[in-house]
Each structure stands twice: as C-alpha cells, then as structure tokens.
Amino acid sequence: MSTLNEPTLNSALLALAQGTIQIHDLTAPLSEETPTLVLPDPFANLIDFSIEEVSAYNEPGPFWKHHNIHTGEHIGTHIDAPVHWINGKEGKDVSQIEPHRLFGPAVVLDFSAEAAANPDFLVDVEHLVAWQEENGAFPANAWLLFRTGWEQYDNDEQAFLNLDESGSHTPGFTVDCAKYIADELDISGIGVETVGIDAGNAGALEPPFPMHHFLLGADKYGITSLKNLDKLPTNGAMIVVAPLPVVGGTGAPTRVFALVENA
C-alpha cells in the first residue's frame, strides 16, 4: 500500500480518502431493545440500557437537547476488562488497557455452519490448531473474531438469548480451548457475536465460565455482540476497539471498527 518514499500513515489516510480501505462498523446499536445477559437466581443482574430526556429545546433547556443514560457496564457491544473476573481482580480496569492492545490484526474464524446445526457448539483446541496449520500462526496482538451467525438474532431477544428451562443455548468454547487461548496464544483478545464471551451453558463447565476465568486472568480481553463479521476477510483486516475509559470500570460500551483493504 505504501511506497519507499511515502510514509505509511499518510498512505493509509490517502487510501481511506480514496476508498481503497473500507471501514466496517462491527458494533450493535445500543437501545432499550438491546438483548442483555440474564443470570439465574440468586445472582444479581445489571440494569438494562435506558435513556432519559432532560431537555429538548424547551424550558429545562431552551437551546439544546440532552439526556441521561442508564446502563450496566456489560450491555450490548462491550469489552470485558481483567477486573471483571475474580482471576483478574488485581489486573487492569477498562481505563488502564493500553491503547496498543486495542488496535491489531483481526482474524475471523467462521463457525456459522456448526452453530446453525447445534446452538450449543463449542470451539475446541483442535479447531484453532487446524486453522493455523492451514493459514499460519495467529499474528501477535491479534483479535480472534468468532463468527457464528448469531447476529441474525440481535433484534429478537428470545432467539438471541435462546433460553429454555435448562438454561441458555448459545455457542462458545471448551474449557481446554479457553486455557489454550489464554496460555498459548500471543493475542490481545477475542470477539463474539453472542451476549457473552462464554457459551450460554458455560456455568455448568468446570471451571464455570472458562473464557472469563482463563482469559481475563491472563490479561486478555473479550468483546461481545459484534456484527458484520461476514464482511471481513479471514485475515488481513485491522480492528479498532474503542471502549469508554471508565476509571474502575470492569467493562464499558465499546465501538468496534474493522479496516479492510479492497481487493
């Protein structure tokens, strides 16, 4: 993309201006209809997102319109910081995540066919090993984005959470896979299309919620409720993860972009 006499950043800016690099928004819009995680009793749930009008060009504020927003940290497209989980309680809050960890190569691993056949499908170590044997090692500082086709349900809370009397049924990762990602891969984090980085039934695994357990304890991060992964190549895209830097925050609403060079 750049020449020997042309600075790389200037070349990238020119490519953006000329449309030879496209920007894809991977963020689900945040509203009162956004599906949210439901924890069973006796666990406490976060509040859902809501917006409250304070003024709208009227007596409380004649020249402006503004709102209060009310939301839990882990609602909609959001990031999980290490302090979100007991294994990472001595780690970073969301404001302390270094910016260079929030930019990096995006690797899309497509398990949409498997998830369509079985909503409880779990990615295992063998899937990641096979991908690397075919495509090469995952790049350093990469974000692994797991495409399951789940974004098709994001306007239908019942289908998105897929709850029944036995719990939630959404795809995720085995315990061994979570440990492998945490211990063996030099990446910044993972991204999913579902409501959380663990499978819907991950509370029954040992340890429970292994992606949270292993990743956050290893200073790796998770982003959830992603969209438009089908617009990205398997590799070669760049991801930009932009959370609100909430001091003390265990997570935050996050805007996520991918930069893709046109073929």
Distance set, CA 124 to CA 25, 93, 96, 145 (Å) = 28, 29, 31, 15
Let me know if 84 is a catalytic residue: yes
Query: pLDDT tens digits for 117-141?
Result: 999 999 999 999 999 999 999 999 9
Judged by average pLDDT, the poorest of 7-16, 66-75, 234-243 is 7-16
What's residue 40's pLDDT? 84
For residues 191-199, give the mean pLDDT.
98
What's residue 160's pLDDT? 96
Instruction: Please give the domain boundaries of the chain with CATH numbers for all domains.
Output: 22-36+73-261 (3.50.30.50)
Q: Is the dihedral of CA 172, 75, 150, 16 positive or negative?
A: negative
The catalytically annotated residue of 24, 78, 84, 213 is: 84
Tokens of 47: 């509040």
Residues whose CB is less than 8 angstroms from the CB of residue 79 and which lie 6 or more positions away in sequence, other chains included: 94, 97, 189, 221, 222, 223, 241, 243, 251, 252, 254
**Bridge partner list, 41:** none
Q: Is the dihedral of CA 248, 170, 174, 109 positive or negative?
A: negative
What's residue 2's pLDDT? 42
CA nearest 155: which of 49, 33, 37?
33
